Structure 1
Amino acid sequence: METNNSEKKQYFYVLLCADNSFYGGYTTEPTRRLKEHNDGVGAKYTRVRSRRPAKMIYTEAFETKSEAMRAEYAFKQLARHEKEKFLKKYL
């Protein structure tokens, strides 16, 4: 039985990059997306060699794409110290 996209989980995720920066993103397949980032074909931000390898330190599943993207947007609006506080239990 095929699964359509509306039945897939939608994920907000955070990477800890090799330069100690954070990258927040959205995906339906966290494992595949991490590989893309580390292969240098993910987001423009992680294509920079000094940011790789990246480690996925946080994922949160949502039912809808818009919920996951809202979580991503909210994370990206935080100051560095607020991101660290949010992620403290995962670092």
Structure 2
Amino acid sequence: MSWPKGIAYGLSIVAAGYLTMRLTTPTSGQLYNALSPELKQEADKARKEHVEYQKELKTLLQKNMDSDHLVWQVEPLKTPPPSEGRRGQ
């Protein structure tokens, strides 16, 4: 087998795998719409907690960047990060 032929076969295998993945993997919107109402509620709650945590973290980072304290003397984050839900249990 020649090099170009081997490269062409390899690329076709990779392309077929990528195409299969793209066709069979649902988008985040499709996945969300397929959830039961209870799981949608749980996902919305987790998303809201994550957004609030990110806002608080961004505010704290900006406050610490503006302060004249040394790196190890900055104010710590008061709330823990949101739980990972079912993955963290």
What's the TM-score, normalizing by structure 1? 0.22
Higher share of residues assigned strand: 1
Greater Rg over alpha carbons, structure: 2
Greater relative contact order, per chain length (Cα 8 Å cut-off, separation 6+): 1
What's the TM-score, normalizing by structure 2? 0.22
